[in-house]
Amino acid sequence: MLTHTLGYPRLGAFREIKKACEGYWKGALDEKALRSASLEEKHRRWRAQQEAGMELVACNDFSLYDHVQDMSFMLGVIPERYKPLCQNLSDLDLYFAMCRGYQGAGYDVTAMEMTKWFDTNYHYIVPEFTRNQDFHYYSRKCVEEFLEAVSFGVKKPKAVLVGPISYLLLGKEKTDDFHRLDLIDTLLPVYMAVLEDLHHAGCTWVQFDEPFLVTDLDDRTRKLYAEVYGVLRQHFPDVHFLLAAYFDGFGDNLQTAMSLPVDTLHLDVVNGLYDLPAVFRDVPRDMNISLGVVDGRNIWINDVNESLGILGLAVKALGHDRVMVSSSCSLLHVPYDVRNEPDGGTLPDFLGPWLAFARQKLDEIRLLADLMEDEVSADAFYGLAEHLKQLEKRKHSKFLRNSDVRSALDALSGEPVGRRQSIAERRVLQQEWLQLPVLPTTMIGSLPQTAELRSLRKRYRDGSLSAEDYGSGVRVLITNAVRWQESIGLDVLVHGEFERTDMVEFFGEHLDGVAFTGNGWVQSYGTRAVKPPIIYGDVSRKEPMTVELARFAQGLSERPVKGMLTGPGTILKWSFVRNDQPLSDTAMQVALALREEVMDLELAGIEVIQIDEPGIREGLPLKKADRESYLEWAVRAFLVCSGGVGPATQIHTHMCYADYADILDALIRMDADVLTIETARSDMEVLSGFAAAGYPGQLGPGIYDIHSPRIPSVGELNTQLEKVLSHFAPRQIWVNPDCGLKTREWDEVVPAVENMVTAARKARHQVRKRALEEG
Ligand SMILES: CN1c2c(nc(N)[nH]c2=O)NC[C@@H]1CNc1ccc(C(=O)N[C@@H](CCC(=O)N[C@@H](CCC(=O)N[C@@H](CCC(=O)O)C(=O)O)C(=O)O)C(=O)O)cc1
Ligand SMILES: N[C@@H](CCS)C(=O)O
Ligand SMILES: [Zn+2]
């Protein structure tokens, strides 16, 4: 049985690539040094796959920022506004300029749009298409990486490409007079040129990622799949095509997928087990299957019994030689290696043996393949026994259950949740207390996590700084932040979240039933990574988590300072969750723990409480038919968490980097008083949807993109506000950036936020003038 994985993590086990790229951006490293750091990392990834016994080893799954952007670069999809940069910038700088925006050498261009990769916390750069889009073979990265793999000694490198249809579907039309799939005829010749180049270089295996095949597709798109792969097959009869879809089963697209002229079809068995009966029955005789039995999205050791059962059925149906063993999806979504957790680190001892990160998953793939051999080695038996022992231990562990939490959950079942007064009634009361101007200004929460702050935290963690001194350091930062916000005239302040490395990790550190890693980094976008907490047991609150600092911050100012929490849907989505109970139960446990925190914040005199829910959209099932049941419990969890406060307490929520048009109804049901939402990077398109749906709450559409280092001018911010005000009455609108500012430097934040406040003031004058003119 051939073994492989669809892709491997790429930021570096110790974030070497993050450091190298950021060093390059700061000018501390030149291109040569960055390229050599990249090659070292590619070698480490290939070595790991070879050592673990993967027969096929992925290449071109490495990226310096994003693999979709790599595809755009390969296919010459470079929007007009970046073209002038080509004259003065290297290809590498042009690539980064598209990802991050660019200000300098007489240029000022914004970054391209970024959005979620399906239902994950990975974000990709959205390709932009025009009606007469020009595609041409621009970057040879794919072939270069294939050749590097060969020189390294990889015997069977498998080149990974986003397939042509998914590539188009991932993008966006810049005008509405065409559909991006109409571009397939001009795109396909460039794919053929790439394949020709790969073929010439000796590549015999190509993995086409076509994840859209697990989403709802119309007949036209299904037909297009058949046509496109028919053409590719005809031109490259000797290249082994592996077509991969993941994150769900194929469902209604299964027959289409099985009819494609590809050699191997990869199935995500973890999420799409239901496809298998039809696959075993109908898969064509000349098609192999790759079974993704090892979960690429979660970190629990594999249930070997279940996997062996599935592989056994596959062998019975197709024969041993037609079945490959793999991970459900790319391992990009899990950390590198459990063995990189520091000794005596943050993970409880009992948890370690239950975990499999990317490197352990390679071993599991190998183990499963070995266990399917006619003659099973002693090592494989040992691996099996060890897995079975740990699975049993986990199943019966006392650490998983908390009877108080279970009782609270039972008591909640069927009870009404949410706020008692209507949003309109609450608005009047809140305005009485808060006395905010028209177009109130605020920020989303976090402020720069500077090198000084990180080093303070590092010293606290390694014991060289006392808890008291760390606490004082954080308080100084909060004090300065509050003073600065007051001085520039912001209306509703934030404390800056300096005590948090990350908005989810922080709660992972403070909740019972949740563990956190020391080095379990997972790429979120570009060079940015997160350490998702691990929800292993029943969740409860040990003690108040944010109240003390919220009270401290509020004590510094007469203006409201927001209490700041991460919502249940987001904690769930951005953590590795237990897989032994329904997600909705875990969500409700988290919601109950957070509800206690919300109530304590209110008691502490916090008048505005923000409960961030950027992850709620991400959890939306990929198939429409599954969505409502998800939204029902996700919205309920938010209401459990937020619904206990009095009508005068203002609940904010915040969302970013996803398409909200398809959950507008759920957003309304969440019943938040204010929703601040990222729209800057998607050009405010989503606003017309909110207006058309009659969104009843107040809205803070982010008026500038915080992920780019460029500083927006007052004029451009004003224009953005004007756009917002063309959809909504001024009384409904807040003015804010599109997300937290933790990734920025103070010298970027200060002018940008000052410009934002000035733009809001200007807009207030304009609104007043207009109102007077209109009588
Ligand atoms: C808002 N977003 C978030 C998402 N998901 C989250 N879980 N959190 C989010 O905020 N998803 C959607 C969006 C966009 N996504 C992200 C994801 C990640 C970041 C980000 O800024 N990440 C930082 C993490 C840095 C961090 O936590 N650093 C640690 C320090 C660790 C360390 O290496 N320390 C060094 C010493 C200090 C140093 O030199 O850095 C050491 O120990 O040697 C910390 O602060 O303690 C990143 O840089 O990747 C943003 C948006
Ligand atoms: N309050 C968080 C939300 C990020 S989505 C922050 O400001 O970083
Ligand atoms: Zn955000």
pLDDT tens-place string over residues 687-699: 888 999 999 999 9
Per residue in 470-511, pLDDT (tens digit) is 999 999 999 999 999 999 999 999 999 999 999 999 999 999
Residue identifier of the C-alpha nearest atom 3 of ligand 2:
740
Verify whether residue 510 is a known catalytic residue: no
Is residue 641 annotated as involved in ligand binding?
no
Same domain? 390 vs 433: no
Per residue in 542-569, pLDDT (tens digit) is 999 999 999 999 999 999 999 999 999 9
Q: Which of 86, 123, 158, 6 is nearest to 656 (CA)?
A: 123
- Any atom of ligand 1 within 6 Å of the Cβ of 314: no
Q: Is the pTM of this model over 0.90?
A: yes
Q: Which of 204-218, 333-347, 489-503, 623-637 has the lowest mean pLDDT?
A: 333-347
Question: Do residues 248 and 120 make contact, with C-beta atoms less than 8 angstroms apart?
Answer: no
Is residue 116 annotated as involved in ligand binding?
yes
Q: How far is the CA of 502 from the centre of ligand 1 (A)?
A: 6
> Counting ligands in written order, which one lies closest to the CA of residue 443?
2
- Any atom of ligand 2 within 6 Å of the Cβ of 446: yes
Same domain? 210 vs 157: yes
What average pLDDT does the segment 353-378 reach? 97
Per residue in 118-175, pLDDT (tens digit) is 999 999 999 999 999 999 999 999 999 999 999 999 999 999 999 999 999 999 999 9
Q: Is residue 424 part of a domain?
A: no
Same domain? 449 vs 543: yes
- Domain with 156, as residue range(s), is 2-395
Same domain? 142 vs 239: yes
Number of separate domains in the chain? 2
- Any atom of ligand 1 within 6 Å of the Cβ of 510: no
- Any atom of ligand 1 within 6 Å of the Cβ of 530: yes
Question: Do residues 114 and 681 make contact, with C-beta atoms less than 8 angstroms apart?
Answer: yes
Supply the pLDDT for residue 730.
97
> Counting ligands in written order, which one lies closest to the CA of residue 740?
2
Q: Which atom of ligand 2 is nearest to the CA of 614?
A: 5
Supply the pLDDT for residue 710.
87
What average pLDDT does the segment 428-455 reach? 97
Same domain? 663 vs 603: yes
> Counting ligands in written order, which one lies closest to the CA of residue 500?
1
pLDDT > 90? residue 679 = no
- Any atom of ligand 2 within 6 Å of the Cβ of 643: no
Is residue 497 annotated as involved in ligand binding?
yes
Query: Checking phi first, is residue 265 left (phi over 0); if not, alpha (psi -120 to 50) or beta?
Result: beta
Q: Is residue 404 part of a domain?
A: no
Q: Is residue 221 part of a domain?
A: yes
Supply the pLDDT for residue 105.
80
- Any atom of ligand 2 within 6 Å of the Cβ of 614: yes
Q: Is residue 506 part of a domain?
A: yes
Sign of CA dihedral 193, 198, 204, 206: negative
Res. 536 pLDDT band, cuts 50 70 90: very high
Q: How far is the CA of 653 from the centre of ligand 1 (A)?
A: 21
Supply the pLDDT for residue 682.
60
> What percentage of the chain carries pLDDT values higher than 70?
99
Ligand 1 pocket mutation, candidates 123, 341, 454, criterion most atoms within 8 A of CB? 454
- Any atom of ligand 2 within 6 Å of the Cβ of 740: yes
pLDDT > 80? residue 651 = yes
- Any atom of ligand 2 within 6 Å of the Cβ of 612: yes
Ligand 2 pocket mutation, candidates 446, 611, 677, 744, criterion most atoms within 8 A of CB? 446
Q: Is residue 409 part of a domain?
A: no
Q: How far is the CA of 503 from the centre of ligand 1 (A)?
A: 10
What average pLDDT does the segment 316-324 reach? 97
Is residue 17 annotated as involved in ligand binding?
yes
Supply the pLDDT for residue 683.
63
Sign of CA dihedral 322, 328, 332, 335: negative
Residue identifier of the C-alpha nearest atom 40 of ligand 1:
454
Same domain? 383 vs 433: no
- Any atom of ligand 2 within 6 Å of the Cβ of 739: yes
Same domain? 374 vs 460: no
CA distances, 384 to each of 165, 313, 337 (Å): 40, 19, 20
Q: Residue 7 corresponds to which amino acid?
A: G
Same domain? 451 vs 573: yes
Is residue 203 annotated as involved in ligand binding?
no
Residue identifier of the C-alpha nearest atom 4 of ligand 2:
740
- Any atom of ligand 1 within 6 Å of the Cβ of 658: no
Write down the mean pLDDT value for the chain: 96
pLDDT > 60? residue 325 = yes
Same domain? 256 vs 142: yes
Supply the pLDDT for residue 176.
87
- Any atom of ligand 1 within 6 Å of the Cβ of 206: no
Distance CA 550, CA 478 (A): 10
Is residue 179 annotated as involved in ligand binding?
no
CA distances, 677 to each of 58, 199, 467, 613 (Å): 37, 46, 35, 10
Ligand 2 pocket mutation, candidates 501, 503, 504, criterion most atoms within 8 A of CB? 503
Supply the pLDDT for residue 680.
57
Supply the pLDDT for residue 244.
98
- Which residues neighbour ligand 3 (ion) by CB within 5 Å? 614, 656, 739
**Which one of 376, 395, 414 terminates a domain?**
395
> What percentage of the chain carries pLDDT values higher than 90?
94
Determine which one of 396, 707, 727, 765 is catalytic: 707
Per residue in 59-105, pLDDT (tens digit) is 999 999 999 999 999 999 999 999 999 889 999 999 999 999 998 88
Supply the pLDDT for residue 708.
81
Res. 681 pLDDT band, cuts 50 70 90: low
Is residue 285 annotated as involved in ligand binding?
no
Q: Which atom of ligand 2 is nearest to the CA of 446?
A: 7
Q: Is residue 423 part of a domain?
A: no
Q: Is residue 775 part of a domain?
A: no
Q: Is residue 403 part of a domain?
A: no
Res. 657 pLDDT band, cuts 50 70 90: confident
pLDDT > 90? residue 337 = yes
Secondary structure E strands in 35-117: 57-59, 102-104, 107-109, 114-116
Same domain? 657 vs 593: yes
Res. 705 pLDDT band, cuts 50 70 90: confident
Same domain? 458 vs 590: yes
Q: How far is the CA of 713 from the centre of ligand 1 (A)?
A: 27
Res. 684 pLDDT band, cuts 50 70 90: low
Quote the distance between the C-alpha of residue 547 and its chain's center.
28
Q: How far is the CA of 233 from the centre of ligand 3 (A)?
A: 43
Same domain? 496 vs 348: no
Distance CA 673, CA 613 (A): 14
CA distances, 446 to each of 442, 493, 512, 668, 745 (Å): 12, 11, 24, 25, 12
Is residue 618 annotated as involved in ligand binding?
yes
* CATH number of the CATH domain containing 98: 3.20.20.210
Distance CA 576, CA 335 (A): 11
Distance CA 500, CA 446 (A): 9
